């Protein structure tokens, strides 16, 4: 055994913390307590610490974007607009959109949980490029500073979509700053995606074949492909908008032969796939949660894996369904409409697989599972209304109404944010070594679910009745639904604020979690909680499929690796890494 004790000061991952011993979690050397200085955090290349850094930064932006949403909902309480005028309202929804899309949703699951668990899940010590990972975070922060300046100076009013010619020729506020913020943010996203792809290809531990990978990794891989291949187009598009806005040259100006619709093509070539950047990681999280809390092997592993890839690929072929009424060719529009239907297939494959996984499973309604169930329901609703909107003839009527707003909030908030909270609760014990309050967790998820539906379901009706989006006032007959929606938003706000209380509370007073509180499969549960600085003391070797819950129904220990090698889904081999 080539083990030098001096090199292994870390508690062995197969030695579970003594159950119930208060403070045992904090004692072993881990990524949190190995160094304490601010410098050690700001210059860290540890993927786990970078994940935590992202967690803090995107939480900040979540509340900025949420603040803007609060003001929007407050304003729409009365038909004439309660607090702001049209110009300020435009800025509010622009800030809400820009911040939520680029500073929360896109980095949300990949940059926090992805960063944290990818190397753990594949049995690596870190991502392939740890320094680039840190650079990604700094680019994110840098772009965030631009966004801050933009907001404090007064914001832009173009909407998050920057449509030309308004953004280039007419808007006279901080378009350039906003464009800069999003442009730099794009680099952060590209580098994260690049890092993930190379890591998944090159850093997997012995025995971790593609079809033994947890489905979260498949979905993050697909997400990264989209990040890497779509974001550059956004960068160049925004660069052109910025240049035209500053210099007044006519790239999208019809006077000089430019075509504003070309901007929309380029913008949506990124921004539609970006929708899948936001939702695919959520689907990955749900795949993990459903199988773990049903104590059952996932149904249709390959189908879920390939449907992630299919969503990523087909997602690139449908962008012009955002432009049906913009003046594009009707022939082209029909093709795009048809292609848009196709995305529904891999998405529904996933939903069926999740449901089939729960069938006859021993479903346990812990907080993460509640989130997963919320995701499945809300995502299905959002997805089905998406099929309605992809229908060419219907979209002509629904376009730019609250129906669209409700549709994508069901996907983005009901889907992604739900999954984000699910993942946060699921991996919280791993990241912190403590259990949060299960009661408060369940209460919170129920509040979020109720508040969400009350906020956004009335918007389906509003849109169906014809209320257009992006107006600060509306005819009085729409007020009932708007009041309902605002009431729902305040409930939702309570739901989003509650984790702020009980999650930090758990850091000090939570039960020590042990290595594997959920009795889950997967390498991340094999190591200590919180994980040691380099994740695993020895490189693990995988000998089983990802979700072998069917093989270990009877077990109920805190750690699974102590069982005999034939039964455990994962065998940790001590000693030098076998060459593969």
Partner 1 sequence: MAEVKEHIAAPRMYIGVLIALMILLVATIITAFIDLDAWTTAHHLGAGWNTVVALLIAMLKAALIALFFMHLKYASRLTWVFASAGVVWLGIMLTLTMSDYFTRNHPPGVNAKGEPNYIVEPAPPGHPSPRIDNYPGQPGSYH
Partner 2 sequence: MSATATNIHSPPNSGDAHLQHQFKNADQQRESATLGMWLFLGTEVLFFGGLFVSYAIYRVRWPDDFREGSLDLKWYLGGLNTAILLLSSFFMALGVRASQQGDNRRVIRHLLATIALAVAFLGVKGMEYYLEYDEGLVPGESFRLQPPPRSSESALTRGMGSFERWTGKYVPNADEHGQRTRREQLFMCFYFIMTAIHATHMLIGIGLMTWLMMLARRRAFSAAWHNPVEVVGLYWHFVDTVWVFLFPVLYLLRNP
Q: Which residues bind partner 2 (CB under 8 A)?
A: 2-4, 7, 119, 124-130, 132, 190, 194-195, 197-198, 201-203, 228-233, 235-237, 239-240, 243, 247-251, 255-259, 262, 266, 534, 539, 576-577, 579
The verdict on 209 binding partner 1 (CB under 8 A) reads no
331 binds partner 1 (CB under 8 A): yes
Shortest distance (Å) from residue 301 CB to partner 2: 26
Question: Does residue 309 bind partner 1 (CB under 8 A)?
Answer: no
What's the min distance (Å) between Cβ of 166 and partner 1?
18
Task: Check residue 329 for interaction with partner 1 (CB under 8 A).
Answer: yes
Residue-wise DSSP of 453-520: HHHHHHHHHHHHHTPBSS-S---GGGHHHHHHHHHHHHHHHHHHHHHHHHHHHHHHHSPB--S-TT--
The DSSP output letter for 109 is I
Hey, what are 531's tokens? 């994980």
**78 vs 577, beta carbon nearer partner 1:** 577
Q: Which of 201/550 has CB closer to partner 1?
A: 201
d(C-alpha 74, C-alpha 376), whole Å: 29
Nearer to partner 1, 169 or 548 (CB): 169
Binding partner of 409, given partner 1, partner 2, none, CB within 5-8 angstroms per partner class: none
Q: Which of 76, 233, 292, 343 binds partner 1 (CB under 8 A)?
A: 233
Q: Report what 542 binds from partner 1, partner 2, none; CB cut-off 5-8 Å by kind.
A: none
Give the long-range contacts of residues 439-445, CB within 8 A, separation 24 or more.
Answer: 440/498, 440/501, 440/502, 441/366, 441/367, 441/370, 441/499, 441/502, 442/365, 442/366, 442/367, 442/370, 443/498, 444/367, 444/495, 444/498, 444/499, 444/502, 445/367, 445/370, 445/371, 445/374, 445/421, 445/495
571 - beta bridge partners?
541
Looking at the Cβ atoms of 249 and 261, the one nearer to partner 1 is 261
Tokens representing 329 are 């060719």
CA gap 406, 467 in Å, rounded: 12
- Please say which residue, 163 or 319, places its beta carbon nearer to partner 1: 319
Q: Which residue from 20, 257, 393, 566 is in contact with partner 1, where contact means CB under 8 A?
A: 257
Residue 427 Cβ vs partner 2, minimum distance, rounded to whole Å = 21
Nearby residues of 36 by Cβ (< 8 Å), 6 or more positions away: none
Q: How far apart are CA 54 and CA 115, in angstroms?
A: 9
Q: Which is nearer to partner 1, 6 or 331 (CB)?
A: 331
474, 467 contact by CB (below 8 A): yes
Instruction: Compose the 55-84 pattern: x for residues touching partner 1 by CB under 8 A, - for all others.
Output: ------------------------------
3-state SS, residue 315: helix
Q: Is 265 in the site for partner 1 (CB under 8 A)?
A: yes
Crossing angle of the two packed helices 47-75 and 130-153, in degrees rounded to 10: 20
Ranges within 148-207 binding partner 1 (CB under 8 A):
201
| Of positions 93, 269, 420, 547, contacts partner 1 by CB under 8 A | 269
Two structure tokens written together for 224: 């990264």
Name which of 48 and 409 has its Cβ closer to partner 2. Answer: 48
Residue appearing with tokens 């890839």? 309
Out of 254, 466, 575, 576, name the contact with partner 1 by CB under 8 A.
254
Number of residues engaging partner 1 in binding (CB under 8 A): 23
Query: Using CB under 8 A as the criterion, which residues of the chain lie in contact with partner 1 when the complex forms?
Result: 201, 229, 233, 254, 257, 261-262, 265, 269, 316-317, 319-320, 327-332, 335-336, 579-580
């Amino acid at each position: 055994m080539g083990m030098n004790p001096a090199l292994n000061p870390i508690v062995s991952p197969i030695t579970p913390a003594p159950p119930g011993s208060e403070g045992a979690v904090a004692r072993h050397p881990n990524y949190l307590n190995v160094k304490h200085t601010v410098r050690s955090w700001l210059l860290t290349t540890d993927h786990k610490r970078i994940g935590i850094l992202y967690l803090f930064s995107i939480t900040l932006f979540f509340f900025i974007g949420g603040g803007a949403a609060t003001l929007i909902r407050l304003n729409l309480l009365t038909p004439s607009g309660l607090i702001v005028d049209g110009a300020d309202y435009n800025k509010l929804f622009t800030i809400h959109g820009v911040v939520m899309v680029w500073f929360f949703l896109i980095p949300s699951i990949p940059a926090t949980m992805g960063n944290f668990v990818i190397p753990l899940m594949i049995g690596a010590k870190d991502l392939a490029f740890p320094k680039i990972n840190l650079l990604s975070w700094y680019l994110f922060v840098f772009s965030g500073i631009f966004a801050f300046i933009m907001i404090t100076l007064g914001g832009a009013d173009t909407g998050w979509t920057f449509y030309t010619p308004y953004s280039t020729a007419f808007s006279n506020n901080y378009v350039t700053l906003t464009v800069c913020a999003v442009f730099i943010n794009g680099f952060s996203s590209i580098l994260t995606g690049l890092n993930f792809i190379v890591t998944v290809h090159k850093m997997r531990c012995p025995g971790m074949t593609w079809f033994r990978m947890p489905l979260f990794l498949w979905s993050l891989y697909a997400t990264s492909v989209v990040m890497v291949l779509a974001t550059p187009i956004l960068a160049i598009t925004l660069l052109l908008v910025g240049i035209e806005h500053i210099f007044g040259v006519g790239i999208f100006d019809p006077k000089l032969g430019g075509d504003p619709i070309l901007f929309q093509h380029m913008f949506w070539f990124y921004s539609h796939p970006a929708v899948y950047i936001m939702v695919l990681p959520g689907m990955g999280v749900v795949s993990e949660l459903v199988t773990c809390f049903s104590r059952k092997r996932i149904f249709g592993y390959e189908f879920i894996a390939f449907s992630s890839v299919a969503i990523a690929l087909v997602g690139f072929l449908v962008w012009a369904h955002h432009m049906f009424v913009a003046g594009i060719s009707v022939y082209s529009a029909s093709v795009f409409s048809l292609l848009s239907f196709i995305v529904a297939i891999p998405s529904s494959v996933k939903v069926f697989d999740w449901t089939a996984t729960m069938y006859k499973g021993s479903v346990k309604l812990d907080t993460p599972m509640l989130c997963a169930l919320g995701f499945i329901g809300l995502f299905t609703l959002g997805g089905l209304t998406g099929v309605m909107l992809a229908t060419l003839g219907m979209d002509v009527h629904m376009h730019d109404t609250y129906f669209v707003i409700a549709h994508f909030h069901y996907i983005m908030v009901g889907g992604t944010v739900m999954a984000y909270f699910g993942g946060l609760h699921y991996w919280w014990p791993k990241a912190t070594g403590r259990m949060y309050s299960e009661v408060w967790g369940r209460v919170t998820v129920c509040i979020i679910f109720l508040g969400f539906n009350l906020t956004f379901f009335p918007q389906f009706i509003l849109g169906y009745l014809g209320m257009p989006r992006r107006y600060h006032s509306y005819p009085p007959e729409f007020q009932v639904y708007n009041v309902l929606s605002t009431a729902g938003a305040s409930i939702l706000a309570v739901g989003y604020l509650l984790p702020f209380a009980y999650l930090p509370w758990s850091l000090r007073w939570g039960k020590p979690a042990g290595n594997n509180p959920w009795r889950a499969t997967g390498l991340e549960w094999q190591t200590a909680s919180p994980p040691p600085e380099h994740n695993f003391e020895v490189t693990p070797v995988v000998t089983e499929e990802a979700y072998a819950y069917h093989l270990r129904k009877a077990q109920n220990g805190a750690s699974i690796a102590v069982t005999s090698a034939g039964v455990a889904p994962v065998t940790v081999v001590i000693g030098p890494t076998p060459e593969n």
